[in-house]
Chain A
């Protein structure tokens, strides 16, 4: 069974925000909200500084606390791709999932249900890539099946040093950042 994930090469990301705009356009994200966003992290002591630019979104975790806390089953793991999705018809807007997510990846849509990155599954089932991956001008984003050893994402993870976000939170995120 496919387990979809994303690999983002931070050495190529320039923080142009094309992925953010593409996502908002593709998914009709309401004004003032973001399903994905750019984080710039600068660390070190001048003049020896390091900077990492990351395109962040819901990590579609293997151990998703947002799914476990949902009282109606609205937040669930889809069979296809094992992605984390929200059924807006079941959501009561209790916001437990917002509190449960250590990445603060969710928000409440103005219509009242919890919303977040869906990995553009409506595109994926048509054989297309998520909008953010397709539009990236530096081609720093890769999307594919983490359980397929021959997929681009699996090969990159084998060959390049990488990290995930808040590994200590125990959520097993499926977005990997190449360094």
Chain B
């Protein structure tokens, strides 16, 4: 028998940590989604798909700029001392993934802007801006560099969000090297699903559906490895895994995140790419919702996990 009583009752800390609400999962999802979109649009640029005027690579940068800004605003809302947010840019803290992220985001915006300039939408582009787009799209080196930068920065953006949580060793659930690759793969999957839904070119829709299937399978493997790592570690890590095996997050994780968000859309999309059934927007929509729920579950469950048993 072990009984522990404490006189501490600090807000946000007791009885269990609850410092981060909806703002952080929304930012993590949008960051991952934008990361995936950057990688996909960068790949399209590098592979020459930009010569097709219907290429999704011209829609993704503008969408990414908007979605990333929404995510950053959610992040800003989470800060308890908002007027100091500019302090993030007065130093580089090499051991802090949050510091890496703030500087990566500073580089992401120019990369997205460069991509955006390749095809400025006619709705907002005046004659001069359209001329600029036409000049830039003809410069192969500029296109290649933009594609490469978008892929690189997209990968960094997607991975750092997972690493940020995984370095917080005081929360055993997060303390896994699998979180970085998992969040990147989930972001790629959500981005592939979104592009699959909005792409105007049929060959791109097919390509992204197949790519999404690969990302979903990889995601399942990474989730498996995450739990294997937790289950074979210390007692506190086993306790963290138990949150999903009989604990309070069991149903929402296995039914919604894994079932509805990965397994069901994977089966539907496998049948669709093999022409057994028609493509349906329900599968990619389920992937996107599953991606959002994955972030919510990991952030909330992680705050539940503790070294104090």
Mutual binders A and B: yes
User: Interface readout for B145-173 with A: 1 if CB under 8 Å, 0 if not?
Assistant: 00000000000000000000001111100
Determine whether B47 belongs to the interface, using a CB cutoff of 8 Å to chain A: no
Determine whether A80 belongs to the interface, using a CB cutoff of 8 Å to chain B: no
Once bound together, how far apart are the Cα atoms of A137 and B93, in whole Å?
Answer: 43
- What are the residues of chain B within 8 A of A69 when measuring CB–CB? 95-98, 167-168
Contact of B170 among A20, A99, A108 (CB under 8 A): A99
- What are the residues of chain B within 8 A of A95 when measuring CB–CB? 12, 19-20, 78, 80
- What are the residues of chain A within 8 A of B81 when measuring CB–CB? 91-93, 111-113
CB distance from A155 to the nearest CB of B (A): 30
- What are the residues of chain B within 8 A of A38 when measuring CB–CB? 6-7
Say yes or no: A93 contacts B80, CB within 8 Å: yes
Within 8 A of A (CB), among B35-79: 78-79
Determine whether B141 belongs to the interface, using a CB cutoff of 8 Å to chain A: no
Say yes or no: B303 contacts A94, CB within 8 Å: no
Once bound together, how far apart are the Cα atoms of A111 and B82, in whole Å?
Answer: 11
Tell me if A's interface is mostly helix, strand, loop or mixed. loop
CB distance from B134 to the nearest CB of A (A): 41
Determine whether B124 belongs to the interface, using a CB cutoff of 8 Å to chain A: no
Number of residues of chain A lying within 8 A (CB) of chain B: 48
CB distance from B304 to the nearest CB of A (A): 12
* Closest partner residue, chain B, to A67 (CB atom): B95
Once bound together, how far apart are the Cα atoms of A172 and B263, in whole Å?
Answer: 44
Say yes or no: B7 contacts A20, CB within 8 Å: yes
Determine whether B123 belongs to the interface, using a CB cutoff of 8 Å to chain A: no
Determine whether A39 belongs to the interface, using a CB cutoff of 8 Å to chain B: yes
Once bound together, how far apart are the Cα atoms of A100 and B168, in whole Å?
Answer: 5
Contacts from B to A (Cβ < 8 Å): 1-14, 17, 19-20, 78-82, 84-85, 87-88, 90-91, 93, 95-99, 101-102, 167-171, 234, 303, 306-308
